[in-house]
């Protein structure tokens, strides 16, 4: 494992898909009044990956700051609200229907961090046969 990979992947992540789809409501810091919904593809203590339909893409760029307003679809994560995050990478291929972004949480409370750790550990224990995390 290269050092850069180790830095990028310092937290265990879980993946969502099929019947386990969840969404997030996200706002750009520049305009907190306007929010958008997007599918959350994976989640860890360090951040998440989400996609947005190309037709709804607002031109976000690497380095932009966003706010995770709330997660929809998992009552265990209700306390994960109003979390600042920064876009670390972005995949914007004009031939794809979605733009995919990876974001890092920039400020979690201790309670939010514990909630995430507990949820990820419980998810992994319940889905032990599921590979890819």
Highest mean pLDDT among 35-39, 81-85, 94-98: 81-85
At a CB cut-off of 8 Å and minimum separation 6, what does 132 contact? 15
Nearest residue to 124 (alpha-carbon basis) of 5, 44, 31, 67:
44
User: Which strand (E) or helix (H) includes residue 44?
Assistant: strand 31-44
In eight-state DSSP terms, residue 75 is G
Rounded to whole angstroms, what are the CA distances from 18 to 39, 53, 98, 132? Answer: 12, 18, 17, 15
Give the domains, in start order, of the chain with CATH numbers. Answer: 3-126 (2.40.10.220)
Angle CA(39)–CA(45)–CA(50) in degrees, nearest 5? 15
Which whole number is the average pLDDT over 29-43? 87
Mean pLDDT taken over the chain: 87
Average pLDDT over residues 28-50: 90
Quick: pLDDT tens for 49-89.
999 998 888 888 999 999 999 999 888 999 999 999 999 99
128 is written with which tokens? 């032990």
pLDDT at 27 over 90: yes
């Amino acid at each position: 494992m290269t050092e850069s990979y180790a830095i990028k992947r310092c937290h265990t992540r879980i993946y969502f898909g099929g019947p386990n789809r969840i969404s997030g409501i996200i706002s750009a810091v520049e305009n907190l009044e306007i929010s958008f919904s997007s599918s959350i593809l994976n989640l860890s203590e360090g951040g998440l990956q989400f996609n947005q339909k190309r037709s709804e893409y607002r031109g976000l760029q690497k380095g932009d700051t966003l706010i995770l307003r709330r997660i929809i679809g998992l009552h265990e994560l209700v306390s994960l609200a109003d979390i600042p995050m920064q876009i670390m990478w972005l995949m914007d291929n004009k031939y794809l229907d979605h733009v995919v972004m990876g974001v890092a949480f920039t400020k979690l409370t201790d309670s939010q961090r514990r909630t995430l750790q507990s949820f990820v550990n419980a998810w992994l224990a319940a889905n032990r046969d599921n590979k890819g995390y």
